[in-house]
Amino acid sequence: MAHDTTKLAVLIDADNARPAIVEGLLAEIAKYGTAHVKRIYGDWTKPDLNGWKEVLLRHSIQPIQQFRYTVGKNATDSAMIIDAMDLLYAERFDGFCIVSSDSDFTRLASRIRESGRIVYGFGEKKTPEPFRTACDKFIYTEVLAGSTTATAEAAPKQRSAKELRSDTHLLNLLRGAIEAASDDTGWAGLGAIGSIVNKQSPDFDSRNYGYGKLSGLIKGIGLFDTEERQIGNGKHLYVRPRVPKK
């Protein structure tokens, strides 16, 4: 499905997100589709949510008021889950973007995927693994380009080739994907590699390592040969494990 026709519902947990990420968040979401619904949930009588007002007005995000009924119980999560299910049953959306670092949304993500809709999760690196892996793709908010210095400082720094080569999990993930996507000559298309990696590890993102694109990360490791091929009207990158020189 073309990204420009993919209808998305964006649901934000105000208690587990920061206003500084919104600009980068919406830019990231635009890569996957069009946000037809943008809602944010929280108790807006609480002073710690005051920083959201200007951001919500600027980006036309609808605030949903949810009072906290008792101490220690998160009524915001419940309201967000109920709304998500209502939107799912309306069958108007191709996918959902759940913005939170809270594991309470794990079952919601799984239920939406069971209905054949795609789920994009967004949260900080502290987000529990069950929620991350319940999504089709999970993006850490630290990698989103924000408009504030604080957000920029939190962005991952680019790792050196030595650091990348010492990351056994990363190398095994990439080697396995290249092998699975390769043809008889050992070459694999970058698009196929990325697709396999994402299915195996929904929270994989080359930006977590300081590289804007997967191609840059693969080249940065220095253990793979790359070749650019002209196919039709476009150029496509192919990758294979580096062949030792004789």
Q: Averaged over 225-231, what is the pLDDT?
A: 90
Please say if the pLDDT value at position 80 is more than 50.
yes
Residue 200 tokens read as 């195996």
Task: Tell me the per-residue pLDDT of 157-213, one tens digit each, with 9 for 90 and over.
Answer: 899 999 999 999 999 999 999 999 999 999 999 999 999 999 999 999 999 999 999
Q: Nearest 10 degrees: CA dihedral of 184, 185, 190, 191? A: -20
Please, is 43 exposed, middle or buried when counting C-beta atoms within 10 Å of its C-beta (0-12, 13-18, 19+)? middle
Q: Is this model's pTM higher than 0.85 or not? A: no
pLDDT at 72: 45
Task: Tell me the per-residue pLDDT of 100-159, one tens digit each, with 9 for 90 and over.
Answer: 998 999 999 999 999 999 999 999 999 999 999 999 999 999 988 544 444 455 667 899
Of 27-36, 90-99, 107-116, 237-246, minimum mean pLDDT range: 237-246
